[in-house]
């Protein structure tokens, strides 16, 4: 295999570990836990894995003697930088525990467990993947592991390979399912532990015990580099407004962090739009006003950041999308008829099925956007927000608004647009030092949770704005993060999704500065991720983490 000089040098990087995991390790039980809400229901649903204590690992002088373990690992959902290092950490951790331990990778996501598709991950195989981005070591997938038939099918292969524990690397839904699986195997006395690991570039799997989902750090740094470059271009050419949509599904953590790293002229935050119940027209008026005021100063350029989930939070669009989700639910009569129909008739026919309010909104949308709203739903039955060109919708609407303002003498400038969508560019980037170290530590830590016989826990590494040696490693019961939510019409136990908190330090920082950034030349140009050099450049964490931990 031919690899670049950077890949070669990066392959030799030895990720840092919390000091507590570098020698002999002692497990310390903390307080018993409760779920964040709906305690009685969740306790009843998880009799074997509810209420378990928090765990921290500490250094000890005493030698520990663990038997060999066979571990299976699954990558679930969208890619996130650092997944390969989680697997390297698990591998090195179980080998440290006992050199006879083995690691198996299930291929193509959770489906690999059900379909019995796997490989043994050996030291030689793993070496080509250390400190690299991507999930290609074993592949990922979005099959949801939630039915008993799947659990039983999985158990067959786990038994055949003599696997004692499964590590599921995924977002909130995958970790919820990991806990359901842990409970099922515990109730059955199946002899298989299940450990979760917090992954997603979206940054929405976080709480008191999980400071960040891995991949967020690297992905946003990649987007911030690109946005910084665009800001330089905008500031040089002085002729375009760049509308940049950023991945993140419903949560705006990526948009918020990217804004904190680059200080653009406009930053929309979906959670704020929802809180203020802002209509599409109000958002457009806000943006057009900034464009016009900048134009009055001779600045016919700028950069606007737009979270990909935005339109789901705009009240009239939310109502429309909810109706469309119901109408176009997979297998429904309307969906079947819709798909059979000639493409040119579909939108008008669908509008007739909507309520009058939603039909009016639907009909007012540009055809391209209306069509995007009707595309196939994701496995949870939701519209795939990454497929909707919200940046273009807003750009076109701002253009129309500015034309009206021109007529009224309120806008005298020019408005040229460029559109961008950043998501896939960052999901498989080579992990930053933070993600390389954090992921390796999460995996290594998972090995100790397994050695200690734990199940239903998520690997947790905290105190992450301190140097890696001082990070706190341990485990948090997944049930602790759960509440009951309606999914597909039924109440289900799920890990509570972390959206941007409007009273949190990162959003408040944006709020204090956003107006200034709109008009004064205050762009930041973060440049590419650096791997070697001063620690304040190479090991810096996200601004979000620094603000949340009072370090900025
Ligand atoms: P996960 O939640 O699975 O980590 O995926 C994150 C994400 O990148 C979102 O930001 C985006 O909306 C979605 O995946 C895109 O999904 P796909 O890879 O299926 O296009």
Residue 487 predicted with pLDDT over 80: no
Pairing assessment for the beta strands 490-495 and 482-487 based on DSSP bridges: antiparallel
Protein residue closest via CA to atom 6 of ligand 1: 78
Q: Is the minimum distance from the CB of 247 to ligand 1 under 6 angstroms?
A: yes
Q: Ligand 1 centre from 202 Cα, in Å? A: 8
Per the CATH hierarchy, to which homologous superfamily does domain 230-427+504-548 belong? Answer: Phosphofructokinase domain (3.40.50.460)
Average pLDDT over residues 181-189: 97
Distance between CA atoms of 142 and 49, rounded to whole angstroms?
Answer: 25
Distance between CA atoms of 374 and 368, rounded to whole angstroms?
Answer: 10
Residue 177 predicted with pLDDT over 80: yes
Q: Left (φ > 0), alpha (ψ -120 to 50) or beta: where does 162 sit?
A: left
Mutate to test the pocket of ligand 1, among 202, 424, 429, 497 (most ligand atoms within 8 A of CB): 202
Q: What is the pLDDT of residue 103?
A: 98
Q: Is the minimum distance from the CB of 78 to ligand 1 under 6 angstroms?
A: yes
Q: Is the minimum distance from the CB of 200 to ligand 1 under 6 angstroms?
A: yes
Q: What is the pLDDT of residue 111?
A: 97
436 half-sphere exposure, CB direction, 13 A CA radius: 23
Protein residue closest via CA to atom 12 of ligand 1: 249
Residue 137 predicted with pLDDT over 90: yes
Mutate to test the pocket of ligand 1, among 109, 177, 249, 384 (most ligand atoms within 8 A of CB): 249
361 half-sphere exposure, CB direction, 13 A CA radius: 21
User: Catalytic: 92?
Assistant: no
Could you tell me which CATH number the domain at 65-215+431-469 has?
3.40.50.450
Give, to the nearest 10 degrees, the angle between helix 505-519 and helix 253-262: 50
235 half-sphere exposure, CB direction, 13 A CA radius: 15
Average pLDDT over residues 318-342: 88
pLDDT digits (tens, 9 = 90+) for 465-483: 999 999 999 999 999 999 9
Protein residue closest via CA to atom 15 of ligand 1: 386
Distance between CA atoms of 442 and 439, rounded to whole angstroms?
Answer: 5
Q: Are 435 and 15 in contact (CB under 8 A)?
A: no
Name 199's bridge partners. 214
- Percentage of residues in the chain having pLDDT higher than 90: 86
Q: Counting atoms of ligand 1 from 1, which one is nearest the CA of 77?
A: 3
Domain ranges of the chain: 65-215+431-469, 230-427+504-548
Radius of gyration of the CA atoms of the chain, in A:
24
Q: What does the buried/exposed string (b/e) look like for 115-142 if buried means 16 or more CB atoms within 10 Å of the residue's CB?
A: bebbeebeeeebeebbbbbbbebbbbbb
Element (H, E) at 267: strand 266-267
Q: Ligand 1 centre from 249 Cα, in Å? A: 7
3-state secondary structure of 522: coil
Average pLDDT, the chain: 95
Distance between CA atoms of 343 and 386, rounded to whole angstroms?
Answer: 22
Average pLDDT over residues 144-161: 96
SS3 annotation, 126-145? HHCCCCCCCCCCCCCECCCC
Q: Are 543 and 510 in contact (CB under 8 A)?
A: no
Q: Is the minimum distance from the CB of 169 to ligand 1 under 6 angstroms?
A: no
DSSP-assigned states of every residue in 41-88:
HHHHH-TTTSSPEEEEEEEESS-------EEEEEEBSS--TTHHHHHH
CB contact set of 399 (below 8 Å; sequence gap of 6+): 415, 417
Candidates 368, 422, 357; CA nearest to 393 is 368
Residue 521 predicted with pLDDT over 80: no
Categorize the per-residue pLDDT at 366 as very low, low, confident or very high, splitting at 50, 70 and 90.
confident
Q: Is the minimum distance from the CB of 144 to ligand 1 under 6 angstroms?
A: no
Distance between CA atoms of 151 and 462, rounded to whole angstroms?
Answer: 31
Which is the catalytic residue, given 92, 173, 202, 435? 202
Average pLDDT over residues 244-262: 97
Q: What is the pLDDT of residue 378?
A: 76
∠534-539-545 over CA atoms, to 5°? 140
Q: Are 525 and 228 in contact (CB under 8 A)?
A: yes
Q: What does the buried/exposed string (b/e) look like for 289-315 if buried means 16 or more CB atoms within 10 Å of the residue's CB?
A: bbbbebbeeebbbbbbbbbbbbbbbbe
Residue 9 predicted with pLDDT over 80: yes
Categorize the per-residue pLDDT at 385 as very low, low, confident or very high, splitting at 50, 70 and 90.
confident
Element (H, E) at 106: strand 102-106
∠254-429-433 over CA atoms, to 5°? 85
Report the largest interatomic distance among the alpha carbons of the chain, rounded to a whole angstrom: 80
Among 28-32, 114-118, 357-361, 375-379, whose mean pLDDT is lowest? 375-379
Q: Is the minimum distance from the CB of 204 to ligand 1 under 6 angstroms?
A: no
Q: Left (φ > 0), alpha (ψ -120 to 50) or beta: where does 382 sit?
A: beta
Q: Is the minimum distance from the CB of 382 to ligand 1 under 6 angstroms?
A: no
Average pLDDT over residues 293-298: 96
Torsional sign, CA 501, 507, 509, 515: negative
Q: What is the pLDDT of residue 291?
A: 98
Categorize the per-residue pLDDT at 306 as very low, low, confident or very high, splitting at 50, 70 and 90.
very high
Categorize the per-residue pLDDT at 492 as very low, low, confident or very high, splitting at 50, 70 and 90.
very high
Distance between CA atoms of 497 and 37, rounded to whole angstroms?
Answer: 13
Mutate to test the pocket of ligand 1, among 196, 247, 435, 495 (most ligand atoms within 8 A of CB): 247
Average pLDDT over residues 230-237: 97
What's the gap between Cα 81 and its chain centre? Answer: 11
């Amino acid at each position: 295999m031919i690899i670049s000089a950077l890949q070669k040098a990066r392959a030799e990087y030895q990720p840092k570990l919390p000091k507590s995991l570098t020698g002999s390790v002692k497990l310390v039980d903390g307080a018993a836990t409760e779920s964040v809400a709906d305690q009685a229901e969740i306790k009843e649903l998880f009799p074997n894995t509810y209420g378990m204590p928090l765990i921290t690992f500490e250094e000890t002088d005493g030698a520990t003697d663990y038997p060999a373990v066979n571990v299976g690992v699954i990558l679930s959902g969208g890619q996130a930088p650092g997944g390969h290092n989680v697997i390297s950490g698990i591998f090195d951790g179980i080998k440290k525990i006992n050199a006879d331990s083995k690691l198996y990778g299930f291929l193509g996501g959770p489906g690999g467990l059900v379909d019995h598709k796997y490989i043994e991950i050996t030291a030689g195989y793993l070496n080509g993947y250390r400190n690299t981005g991507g999930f290609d070591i074993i592949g990922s997938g979005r099959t949801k592991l939630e039915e008993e038939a799947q659990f039983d099918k999985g158990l067959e292969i786990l038994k055949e390979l003599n696997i004692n524990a499964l590590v599921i690397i995924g977002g909130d839904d995958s970790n919820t399912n990991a806990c359901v699986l842990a409970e099922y195997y515990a109730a059955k006395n199946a002899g298989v532990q299940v450990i979760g690991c917090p992954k997603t570039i979206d940054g929405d799997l976080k709480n008191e015990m999980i400071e960040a989902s891995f991949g967020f750090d690297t992905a946003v740094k990649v987007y911030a580099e690109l946005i910084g470059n665009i800001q330089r271009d905008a500031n040089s050419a002085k002729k375009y407004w760049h509308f940049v949509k950023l991945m993140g599904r419903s949560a705006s953590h990526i948009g918020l962090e990217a804004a904190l790293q680059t200080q653009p002229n406009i930053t929309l935050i979906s959670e704020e739009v929802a809180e203020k119940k802002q209509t599409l027209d109000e958002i457009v008026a806000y943006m057009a006003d900034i464009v016009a005021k900048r134009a009055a100063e001779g600045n016919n350029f700028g950069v606007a950041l737009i979270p990909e989930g935005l339109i789901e939070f705009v009240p009239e669009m939310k109502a429309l999308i909810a109706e469309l989700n119901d109408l176009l639910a997979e297998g429904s009569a309307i969906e079947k008829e819709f798909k059979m129909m000639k493409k040119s008739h579909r939108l008008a026919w669908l509008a007739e099925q909507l309520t009058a309010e939603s039909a009016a909104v639907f009909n007012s949308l540009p055809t391209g956007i209306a069509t995007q709203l009707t595309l196939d739903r994701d496995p949870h039955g939701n519209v795939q927000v990454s497929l909707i060109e919200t940046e273009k919708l807003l750009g076109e609407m701002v253009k129309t608004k500015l034309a009206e303002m021109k007529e009224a003498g309120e806008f005298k400038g020019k408005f040229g647009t460029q559109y961008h969508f950043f998501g896939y560019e960052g999901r498989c980037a080579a992990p930053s030092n933070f993600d390389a170290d954090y992921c390796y530590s999460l995996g290594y830590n998972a090995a100790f949770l397994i050695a200690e016989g734990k199940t239903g826990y998520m690997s947790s590494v905290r105190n992450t704005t301190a140097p890696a040696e001082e990070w706190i490693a341990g485990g948090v019961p997944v049930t602790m993060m759960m509440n009951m939510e309606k999914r597909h019409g039924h109440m289900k136990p799920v890990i509570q999704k972390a959206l941007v908190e409007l009273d949190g330090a990162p959003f408040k920082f944006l709020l204090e500065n956003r107006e200034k950034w709109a008009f004064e030349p205050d762009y930041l140009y973060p440049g590419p991720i650096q791997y070697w050099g001063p620690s304040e450049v190479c090991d810096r964490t996200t601004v979000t983490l620094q603000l949340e931990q009072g370090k900025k």
